[in-house]
Amino acid sequence: MARLFGTDGVRGVANADLTAELALGLSVSAARVLGDAGAFEGHRPRAVVGRDPRASGEFLEAAVVAGLASAGVDVLRVGVLPTPAVAFLTAELDADLGVMLSASHNPAPDNGIKFFARGGHKLADEVEDAIERDYRGLAAEEHAGWRRPTGAGVGRVREHGEGFDAYVDHLVGCLPNRLDGLRVVVDAAHGAAHQVSPEAFRRAGAEVITIGVEPDGLNINDGCGSTHLDLLREAVVANGADLGVAHDGDADRCLAVDATGAEVDGDQILAVLAVAMREAGTLREDTVVATVMSNLGFKLAMEASGIRVVQTAVGDRYVLEAMKRDGYALGGEQSGHVVLLDHATTGDGTLTGLMLAARMAAVKQPLAELAAVMTRLPQVLINVRDVDRTRATTDARVATAVREAEDELGASGRVLLRPSGTEPVVRVMVEAAEGDQAHAVAQRLADEVKAALG
């Protein structure tokens, strides 16, 4: 039986994979599991529930709220806010649980449910597993004897409109300096940050131009945001802006473009912030956490700046786990998930954009100059489909092909071969000093993977 929880909560096509019944049942089970673990002991439990603007979020939110309240949890509905805002408010309001309804950068028909524990941290894998087991037990009526609360024991539901200002004030309060004099274009992807991000930049002193701030429930991520940068490039150049920032649907990531319209990806943003934090003495252990997919140019640039790089598996949850375990302050992914652990418990796209702008304002340098701290090596990624991904790391023929590719590239390149966690795909990534070489080696290696595992 397929696991409901993926690397970032439960996600699927709303009203097909992710139904109201599933949302309600998982919410009941989350309350039961946390309650049985003693998380609610000695007080009346409380949860924060937020969502992005997807049309399906309206009925899924109602289902989640109903499930929590029926299990005896009081609910604070914070409305349409980014995922990191829900995490922040879960901690700020001393809630026992946070729930965010969003499918991040996915198209409008999809949706998802993400749970946060007390303090605004993602649930541990074992807690998610326990929730899933409990849900399946409830669905099979194995818990038919469970005594649902009645009377004063049922949860109460109220709106919490103060969350918007509290979160924006928090974001602006994190900045080391103001953004006066900067002209910024914000692309909110018609998503959860369509009000938060422009307002935060304005309060911090920037002149703000907006695109992607008119959600209608169906246009989220549609040709805009961090997965579609063309509109942002055009707007930055047309308006003579210093910086453009783009979020995804739930605004836990941020990509940027400089004044010329050139993309500044997550690796470059991470490099700029790492150097700034090292100079300020806030980069603990002079270390930054990144994934194995980060460009080799990032690692070389950090070494040249006296900064150590700790690498993890792909996924912001693995970056966060390493940061929390070893006490590091900064980590992130090439996709634009950046975690500033002194200020946030998860990736926060608006905070990332603000910090990037603050660095520009502080040193009075254009983003292109700051991003030049690292040189992106040509990177080619090929997804080899319809192969036996389970043998990707053990097949002798594949291992030989990888060794030969690494020998050819030497110290100026890199090979990464990894099976997908969700589909019959093996991902082949090659970096080299020259683009032609990267393409040639990647294609040759992909052909070998297809021949060996197909």
Binding residues: 104, 248, 250, 252
CA distance 302 to 311: 13
Residues 287, 304: Cα–Cα separation, whole Å: 13
Strands 287-291 and 330-332: parallel
Whether the Cβ atoms of residue 61 and residue 49 lie closer than 8 Å to each other: yes
Q: Do 234 and 173 meet the contact criterion of CB atoms below 8 Å apart?
A: no
* C-beta of residue 327 within 8 angstroms of C-beta of residue 401: no
Whole-number Å distance between alpha carbons of 169 and 160: 16
The pairing of strands 425-431 and 10-13 is: unpaired
- Specify the DSSP class assigned to residue 6: B
- Evaluate whether 179 touches 206 at the Cβ level (below 8 Å): yes
Question: Any idea how long the chain is?
Answer: 454
From the DSSP assignment, how many helices (H) and strands (E) are in the chain?
Answer: 14, 18
> Is-contact 274 288, C-beta < 8 A?
yes
Residues annotated within a binding site for Mg(2+) = 104, 248, 250, 252
Q: How far apart are CA 128 and CA 134, in angstroms?
A: 10
Residue 166: which residues within 8 A CB-CB, separation 6 or more? Answer: 88, 89, 92
CA distance 390 to 209: 48
DSSP, collapsed to helix, strand or coil, labels residue 353 as helix
Catalytic residue list contains 104: yes
Q: Taking the mean position of all CA atoms in its chain, how far away is CA 262?
A: 22
Q: Give the span between the Cα atoms of 318 and 59, in whole angstroms.
A: 31
Check: CB of residue 306 under 8 Å from CB of residue 277. no
In DSSP notation, 251-285 reads ---EEEE-TTS-EE-HHHHHHHHHHHHHHHT-SGG
DSSP state letters, 183-215: EEEEE-TTSTTTTHHHHHHHHTT-EEEEES---
Whose CA is closest to 395, among 351, 334, 449?
A: 449
The two structure tokens encoding residue 30: 């989350």
At 325 the three-state DSSP class reads: helix
Options 27, 29, 102, 104, the catalytic residue: 104
Active site residues: 104
